[in-house]
Amino acid sequence: MQISGKRVLLTGASRGIGETLAERFARAGASLALVARSEGPLKELAARLGGTPHPLDLCDSSAVAGLIERVEAEAGPVDIVINNAGVSLIDYFLHHSADDVEAIFRTNLLAPVEICRQAIPPMLKRGEGHIVNISSIAGVLCPPGLVHYGASKAGLSHYTACLRNELQGLPIGTTLVELGSVPTEMDDSTQDYAPYVEFREKRNPRFDPDRDRVPRETVADAIVDAIENNRRHVRLPRMLAPLCATAEATRRISEFLFRGIDVRGGANPTGERSS
């Protein structure tokens, strides 16, 4: 898919990776529909890049309901969805309240799944679209303090692989992005978490967060390239990519086993039920 002239819906757009992605897509000639909780910064970014702001808390399921319909009514058809928003709330898992756990799973997994569910049918009717789900290497490893975050990202990674299988033969591309350490406020919290400080002191004293993290611009460039070339995966840093590939192996086996089978059971691809 050529990005120029396409409309990109991007969640978590107001800062960090999301802000860098918004800037990169704007340079590529895309129109932007920007989603984030922070209304002020979101509107400033949208004004600067010529996009439309859509303030929204992804933890609020009633606000997520109908999001794509509202955006398309205001801004026009959504061609590319980037599910970027995420929260980690890094801490020992028993320190998380029930509300904390729900916020992590709603933001990192349930909201992206619902946005995909809303976005794909109109994409299919128009005959083109691309879904990018931004996951984490924490969905493959089991790092301390990220029990619920890692589980939610593992769910998003598996969902994306299953989604790709059910979309086979249809004009919708998918890209799963699995990231390690990237310079953001969320990653700063990770690097400051006591077990990671101890790990660096005892096991990896040469690790320098300012040097060894993947630049946000590198992530954004890789995602643009993946959409334009219909790549299934972006895995950064590359030295950790084999870990993600190992987890992906059984998913690919499933894809191979069901090759040539009508995985939709004769259902209308857009999800519409026959009367």
Q: In the chain, what is the straight-line distance between the N-terminal and C-terminal CA atoms, in Å?
A: 34
What span, in angstroms and rounded, lies between the C-alpha atoms of 15 and 184?
8
What span, in angstroms and rounded, lies between the C-alpha atoms of 158 and 250?
10
Contact 120, 130 (CB under 8 A): no
Residues marked as catalytic: 149
User: In this structure, which long-range contacts are made by residues 232-237, counting pairs with CB atoms below 8 Å and at least 24 apart in sequence?
Assistant: 232/164, 232/174, 232/175, 232/176, 233/175, 233/176, 233/177, 233/178, 234/175, 234/176, 234/177, 234/178, 235/137, 235/177, 235/178, 236/178, 236/179, 236/180, 236/182, 237/180, 237/181
Burial of 107 (0-12, 13-18, 19+ CB in 10 A): buried
Q: Which residue, 20, 172, 19, 180, is CA-closest to 81?
A: 172
